[in-house]
Structure 1
Amino acid sequence: MCEACGHKPQSYQGRRWCYDCKPGTNGRPLPCRRCGATGDYWAQRLCRRCHLFAPQLPDSCRDCLAWGATRTLKWLCGACVGWRHLHPSASECISCHRDVAVNEHKACRLCWLQTVYQAQAGLPRDVLAANRHGQQLWLANMSNFKNGYRPHPRRDYGRPKDQIQPPGYDSQPENAADQQTGARPPRDPEQLDLFAYDRIENPARRFGFGEPPSHRFAARLDQHVLDQAERHGWTERQTRRTRITLRVLQARHRIATGPVKASDVLELRTYGLPIRLALAVLEDNDLLVDDRVPALRPWFARQLSGLPEPMASELQTWFDVLHHGSTTPPRSRPRHDVTIKTRTLWAMPTLRAWADAGHLSLREITRADVLAVLPAQGTPRVKLGNALRSIFTTLKRHRVLFVNPMARMRIGNLERRVPMPIDTARIRGAFESADPTTAAITTLIAIHGLRPGEACALLLTEVRDSRILLPTRTILLAPVTKARLDAYLAHRRKRWPGSINPHFLIHSRSAATLEQVKVPWLTDKLGMSANALRQDRILAEVHAGGDLRQICDFFGVTIATAEHYASTINHPELDDFTTAPAGSRTDTPH
């Protein structure tokens, strides 16, 4: 290093000084060959910023100008890295006119942060107006509102004059005496807090909506969260974020007493706040009014766009009957959302074709029109036929149509697929997985043949005494499979020691509630279809020589299903498929 300053390396071999301290010469180092900088030279014609082994000194972020960025992220702060990932397109910002990554409002992250922190609640955000007088610079990686210890903004939201209130809010609440309950001692208005001293109130206050209108109701909700967290074994992070969510909810919508609308809670998703556990707390304490619109209704409305009005109204009647059911003659029960969505997707291409052909109403459709669009045979004929039959039969029963063109029309049955085996190496890899959850799921489905739905609904009390006690049958556990389930239970107790979820299989989201896991989660953990894995188990048992009665008893299937699997023996598509080792799957892998 240089003997004079001790901060920079020697200019070259054998010299005692760096270029800046070398006396008696006007020779200066060439500009950095990478970035072109003429100052802060380090070595090898590279400046301190570009040299691989130069000390990592912080500098300003290239995008938002926040101080504290390093070369590790290419002189970007962590927030700008995420901003570029969310908004990959780069164009000119409408405020600062820099060519950087912009959002849907054509604003860069620096200008958008200034807009967010100056916007009034309930009013549109104006990027140009908020950035007319410049921007507030930040410390890098400290501007996330989820961080309870970031520098305090330039407003003191503990003072009423700095609180952002929705339009029409009365600054003098009726329960002014309640406002003083638990009030904090006055602080010096000229002194700003650098770090938050309250992990709940300060992060909630920084959203800009001030204090809740009723401290008594806020304390009541806070206690409900703590009670539920202790009862369900929530983590510290889940508890803290749920408390912040409910506090922001009260301040945002000026809620002084219950009940709370679910739609008000859903609005908090735009601020990045978790709402699932907050809804559970309100619902369990009878403080929630569920005014949420089912996702199926707007989806069906989008499907009807472009159809003529008489036909759209008729289809809306069909949807209402299937979605809500009918309590007056002709009575019917509500259908599952998946059934309604599937039948709609099957029928929409044909309905749009009829609309394009000039048919304005389903009353104009004749039997000949239906026969013209129905495929000759196979599964496509059954799918379209079932969808059209549901529409025309329902409308005829409710006297919307005079004639049912699908009456006494045969459409056949769905073609059953030939079950195909799975490579044994994949199953063995899942069974011997280092993840106890994956090994336990493989044990339940691939070894003992549980349906994916049965595995999701399996309770802890149903696995005992080396048996799985299902409502329809009892399954004995082999020593190897019992060891897999015991390892999973040990993992569960260690990972979620306070969870009271009664189900055998849980994950990080269901551990805090009483809900069961879903089948897609099983497929994700297995790396293969859970239904296909069970079909492979039944297929292996059939090819191992199991009789139909034994298959029905062990897997809980009907005789028709067992015969369908038995029909695959010596099937031409399975002749070339090799599965090793041979034998029953009941003989667990060693």
Structure 2
Amino acid sequence: MGHIGQDKPAVSCVGCFAWGQLPGRFCRACYTYGQLNALGVCLICRRDIPVHDGHCRLCRAQASWAVKAAGATGEAAALAIFLRGVKHQQLFFANLQRPRNGGPPVGKQGRRVRKRAADVEPVRLHSPWVQPRLTEAPQNFSRFARHRRDLANPTLDQARRRAGAIGEAHGWTRWVAREVDRALVILLSGHQTGDKISYSQMSDGLRHFGLTIKRTAEILDQLDLLEDDRVPVFESWLSQRLDGLADGIRRDVEDWLRTLRDGGPRSQPRQQGTAMKYLTEIRPVLLDWSERLDHLREVTRTDILAVRDQLEGSKRHHTLSVLRSLFRHCKKQGTIFRDPTARIRVGRQDYRVLLPLEPHEVRAAVDAATTPAARLALALAAVHAARPKAVRELQLDDVDLGNRRLVLAGRARPLDDLTRPAVLAWLDYRRQRWPNTANPHLIVSQHTAMDTRPVSGVWITEALRGQTATLERLRMDRQLEEALTHGPDPLHLAEVFGLDEKTAIRYANSARQILERPLESDPATSPRTQGSTPRQHDDGPAGSH
């Protein structure tokens, strides 16, 4: 509408009823229309305003809009037919002749083809109010159909964007990203605000379509949409291993194991594997006591001594240590009156002499390591005495090819001519097999290439499983070889390999016994040096030189 001035009163236009400061009876639009057409009475609204062919501007605009919405052709003929059929008065409000979201525009901009009713997507209205569920019905994702997908779901859109960010950060392949995206569409197409997806229902549905479960569960867990209803491994294992024990013994043992794993008021939590190993060590003893006893308070010092006398070596030492931990916990909790393991000494443990590996055992291990990862792990264990855990946790930043340095378990070591080709071969294989992986660890597998975890201990030792020269035996053989070559010096071993003082003393003692062993005492079984036999003198002692 035209703005005339502030001193004139606001009136209503005779043509369109627009309210404003008008110079006369008509607004600017109606006045311009009247200059081109003659004044008269509209045949539809019966107003004495400028008309064209007997109809005012607003009635013709309404008719043109209706014709465009109906998709009719021949604008003049269709407009005349519509105008003859309309017998009521048309009323309008300002700026509503061409609504932005109501339909196709009129005039030259209305020449586009209107979509059919089936192609028009319904407008989704989001309300902050959520209707609670009447009952919790299980969801069956295995019956998902493609026509039921709802890509406009806000939760699905958020999950897909989160999956894209994680996939880019972890170096997912396009196949993995496609599987995760399809799984999210299946799970979240009909998602409502406040709903959660149980792990069991999710796994059943995705397993039916052959899609990845682990990475999809990771996305849902980050968005707080996953309800993990799985039974913990420790709980199922504990109920199975405690089966067969007397009720009184089982109750105390279960409380002791949970305190080991979770910690207590004055005790630090241990690893779950430690608690499981403790129970495995003393389970035969507990089963034997359950046949004739009902509670741990009935165990006497004689029973503990009987267990000690039946075992020997490291097993005896470890079993008594575990029993001492069990009875100390029971005494602290007040379930027993006296600790039967008190003042029972195991004695000093005599370690066996460590012997080096035979050449054929080492050759068999080398032949068994056929993959680049297995050869690299073998070289790190045999040359640098690296533990399997240190091999798994070795990262790319720990390898300095330019300066030929290698950092193992926090200790810098030179990169020798045997390990360097193994490292280069593995890096070439890794670059060809997983070019987009973002895992910072040096050794990765098919499962860990899509995240940042190290490989498992089972995977790294799988190649040498069943061999005499395992990774652990190769590590021990390397440390023993260092003691045999440079002398049985515990300080040297501790400095080179970072060993504990007791471990370094044990390797030094084994090397000393091997070097001081009299070969003449058992010439049939003693290894002899290959070559010509030296000439024996009559006045000298017999034996090898």
TM-score range, shorter-chain basis?
A: 0.5 to 0.7
Higher relative contact order (CA closer than 8 Å, sequence separation 6+): 2
Given that residues 249 and 296 in structure 2 are in contact (C-alpha distance below 8 angstroms), is that contact kept between their aligned partners in structure 1?
Answer: yes
Match of 2:437 in 1: 499
Cα displacement (A) at 1:206 = 8.6
Compute the RMSD of aligned alpha carbons: 3.6
**Aligned counterparts of 1:222 and 1:442: Cα–Cα separation in 2:** 42
Match of 1:30 in 2: none
1:337 is the counterpart of 2:290: no
**Aligned counterparts of 2:188 and 2:378: Cα–Cα separation in 1:** 46
Alignment TM-score, normalising by the size of structure 1: 0.57
Please list the CA deviations of residues 108-157 of structure 1 after superposition, one character each: whole Å capped at 9, or x if unmatched.
Answer: xxxxxxxxxxxxxxxxxxxxxxxxxxxxxxxxxxxxxxxxxxxxxxxxxx
Cα displacement (A) at 1:491 = 1.6
1:402 is the counterpart of 2:373: no
Residue 270 to residue 225, structure 1, CA distance change in 2 (3 Å): same
How much identity, in percent, do the aligned residues show? 29
Cα displacement (A) at 1:283 = 4.0
Given that residues 159 and 223 in structure 2 are in contact (C-alpha distance below 8 angstroms), is that contact kept between their aligned partners in structure 1?
Answer: no
1:372 is the counterpart of 2:313: no
Given that residues 207 and 213 in structure 2 are in contact (C-alpha distance below 8 angstroms), is that contact kept between their aligned partners in structure 1?
Answer: no
Match of 1:441 in 2: 377
Name the aligned partner's letter for residue 550 of structure 1. H
1:532 is the counterpart of 2:467: no
1:542 is the counterpart of 2:542: no
**Aligned counterparts of 1:411 and 1:255: Cα–Cα separation in 2:** 64
Match of 2:510 in 1: 568
Q: How does 1:396-475 map to 2 (within 5 A)?
A: 396-412=331-347, 416-425=351-360, 427=362, 435-464=371-400, 465-470=403-408, 472-475=410-413
1:243 is the counterpart of 2:181: yes
Residue 558 to residue 384, structure 1, CA distance change in 2 (3 Å): closer
Residue 490 to residue 404, structure 1, CA distance change in 2 (3 Å): same
Unaligned runs of 5+ in 2: 1-122, 127-139, 531-545
Name the aligned partner's letter for residue 381 of structure 1. R
Residue 243 to residue 424, structure 1, CA distance change in 2 (3 Å): farther
**Aligned counterparts of 2:251 and 2:528: Cα–Cα separation in 1:** 55
Please list the CA deviations of residues 358-417 of structure 1 after superposition, one character each: whole Å capped at 9, or x if unmatched.
Answer: x22212222223223332543342233122212111111122222222122213465545
Q: Which moved more, 1:561-570 or 1:259-268?
A: 259-268
- Secondary structure of 1:334's counterpart equals coil
**Aligned counterparts of 1:371 and 1:299: Cα–Cα separation in 2:** 30
- Secondary structure of 2:422's counterpart equals helix
1:514 is the counterpart of 2:452: yes
* Aligned counterpart in structure 1 of residue 323 of structure 2, from 376, 385, 388: 388
Q: How does 1:165-184 map to 2 (within 5 A)?
A: none
Name the aligned partner's letter for residue 301 of structure 2. R
- Secondary structure of 1:306's counterpart equals coil
Cα displacement (A) at 1:312 = 2.1
Residue 333 to residue 436, structure 1, CA distance change in 2 (3 Å): same
Given that residues 388 and 461 in structure 2 are in contact (C-alpha distance below 8 angstroms), is that contact kept between their aligned partners in structure 1?
Answer: no
Residue 314 to residue 267, structure 1, CA distance change in 2 (3 Å): farther
**Aligned counterparts of 2:528 and 2:473: Cα–Cα separation in 1:** 15
Please list the CA deviations of residues 65-94 of structure 1 after superposition, one character each: whole Å capped at 9, or x if unmatched.
Answer: xxxxxxxxxxxxxxxxxxxxxxxxxxxxxx
**Aligned counterparts of 1:578 and 1:255: Cα–Cα separation in 2:** 77
* Aligned counterpart in structure 1 of residue 212 of structure 2, from 260, 274, 280: 274
**Aligned counterparts of 1:305 and 1:436: Cα–Cα separation in 2:** 44
Q: How does 1:178-257 map to 2 (within 5 A)?
A: 207-210=142-145, 211=148, 215-250=153-188
Given that residues 424 and 579 in structure 1 are in contact (C-alpha distance below 8 angstroms), is that contact kept between their aligned partners in structure 2?
Answer: no
Match of 1:304 in 2: 242
Cα displacement (A) at 1:482 = 1.6
Residue 231 to residue 566, structure 1, CA distance change in 2 (3 Å): same
Match of 2:286 in 1: 351
Given that residues 141 and 205 in structure 2 are in contact (C-alpha distance below 8 angstroms), is that contact kept between their aligned partners in structure 1?
Answer: no
Given that residues 424 and 580 in structure 1 are in contact (C-alpha distance below 8 angstroms), is that contact kept between their aligned partners in structure 2?
Answer: no
Cα displacement (A) at 1:431 = 5.8
Larger Rg: 2
Residue 311 to residue 420, structure 1, CA distance change in 2 (3 Å): same
Given that residues 430 and 439 in structure 1 are in contact (C-alpha distance below 8 angstroms), is that contact kept between their aligned partners in structure 2?
Answer: no
Residue 246 to residue 533, structure 1, CA distance change in 2 (3 Å): farther
Q: How does 1:132-147 map to 2 (within 5 A)?
A: none
Match of 1:147 in 2: none
Residue 313 to residue 418, structure 1, CA distance change in 2 (3 Å): same
Name the aligned partner's letter for residue 499 of structure 2. V
Q: Which moved more, 1:275-284 or 1:259-268?
A: 259-268
**Aligned counterparts of 2:456 and 2:377: Cα–Cα separation in 1:** 12
Name the aligned partner's letter for residue 567 of structure 1. N
Unaligned runs of 5+ in 1: 1-174, 179-204, 582-590
1:553 is the counterpart of 2:498: no
Residue 517 to residue 212, structure 1, CA distance change in 2 (3 Å): same
Given that residues 307 and 352 in structure 1 are in contact (C-alpha distance below 8 angstroms), is that contact kept between their aligned partners in structure 2?
Answer: yes
Please list the CA deviations of residues 218-247 of structure 1 after superposition, one character each: whole Å capped at 9, or x if unmatched.
Answer: 233233223322221122332233333334
Residue 501 to residue 562, structure 1, CA distance change in 2 (3 Å): same
**Aligned counterparts of 2:205 and 2:340: Cα–Cα separation in 1:** 49
Residue 580 to residue 208, structure 1, CA distance change in 2 (3 Å): farther
